[in-house]
Amino acid sequence: MIRNTAIMAGGQSRRFNADKTLEEVFGKKLIEHTVDAISGWADKIVVVAKDCRKYAFLEIPCTSDIYDQQCPMVGILTALKHYNTHVFVVAADTPLVNSEHAEKLMIACQGHDASVPVIEGKMHPLYSVYAPSLIPILEKQIADENYRLTKAFDLSDVVYLTENEILASENEKKSFININTKDDLEAALDFMQGE
C-alpha cells in the first residue's frame, strides 16, 4: 500500500522554549530522527511548515502552510492538498513512529475520511491517516475560524483505532511519545537510544 507521509513541523514549541524540531539529540536534529524513522518505509515524504527555509538541510520536499493560522488543522489540510490522496500525518516531534501503525491506519481509512488512534483514551490526530474527502470539511471549518479538530471529526466519517487494534505489544506505546517539553525529551532519550 502506498504510504504518502507528511511531517508536521509548524508548531510553535511554546512549552519547549526553543524550536524543538531543531533540538540536537544524539548528533542530529529532532526532526531528522523522525525523517529517519519514516524514510525506510514511506513512499513519499513532505515536511509541512510555516517556514520551509529552516528545513532545507533535510533535502526532502517541504510545503508551506496554505493559511496563516498555525494549527494542526491547517497542516493536515496543506498535506492533503499537496498529495490529493490518503496521507499519513505525523508530528515532527514523534521520533519513534512505527511503520506497522501507519499501515494499519492506511487500511482502516479506506472508505472513510480519517483513521485516528486512541491510546489510553487519548486521540493522536498527528499520528493518523486522512483522506482527500476531508478537504471540504476542513476548508469549511477554517473559513468559519473553527480550528478544533474534534469539531471537524464530529462532522466527518472517522474510524478510531484503540490500542488493541493498533498495537502489537505494550512496548509499542513508545511510538506515540511526542516531545513538548525538555522533560519529555529526557524521558524519550532511553527509547531513542535503543532504536
pLDDT digits (tens, 9 = 90+) for 97-133: 999 999 999 999 999 999 999 999 999 999 999 999 9
The whole-chain average pLDDT of the chain stands at 90
pLDDT at 194 over 60: no
Mean pLDDT of 7-15: 71
Under 8 Å between Cβ of 40 and 25 = no
Q: What is the pLDDT of residue 151?
A: 95
C-alpha 158/C-alpha 176 separation (Å) is 19
Rounded alpha-carbon distances, angstroms, from residue 175 to 53, 82, 112, 167, 187: 28, 25, 24, 10, 13
Domain boundaries in the chain?
4-193
Q: How confident is the model at residue 26 (pLDDT cuts 50, 70, 90)?
A: confident
CB atoms under 10 Å from CB of 25, counted, come to 18
Assign 115 to helix, strand or coil: strand
Could you tell me which CATH number the domain at 4-193 has?
A: 3.90.550.10
Q: What is the pLDDT of residue 2?
A: 64
38-61 pLDDT, tens digit each: 998 999 999 999 999 999 999 999
Q: What is the pLDDT of residue 171?
A: 87
pLDDT at 192 over 60: yes
Min mean pLDDT across 15-24, 40-49, 87-96, 118-127 is at 15-24
Q: What is the pLDDT of residue 10?
A: 74
Q: Which residue has the higher pLDDT, 81 or 11?
A: 81
CB atoms under 10 Å from CB of 15, counted, come to 13
Min mean pLDDT across 74-88, 143-157, 170-184 is at 170-184
Q: What is the pLDDT of residue 190?
A: 65
C-alpha 52/C-alpha 178 separation (Å) is 21
pLDDT at 1 over 60: no
pLDDT at 184 over 70: no
Q: What is the pLDDT of residue 12?
A: 54
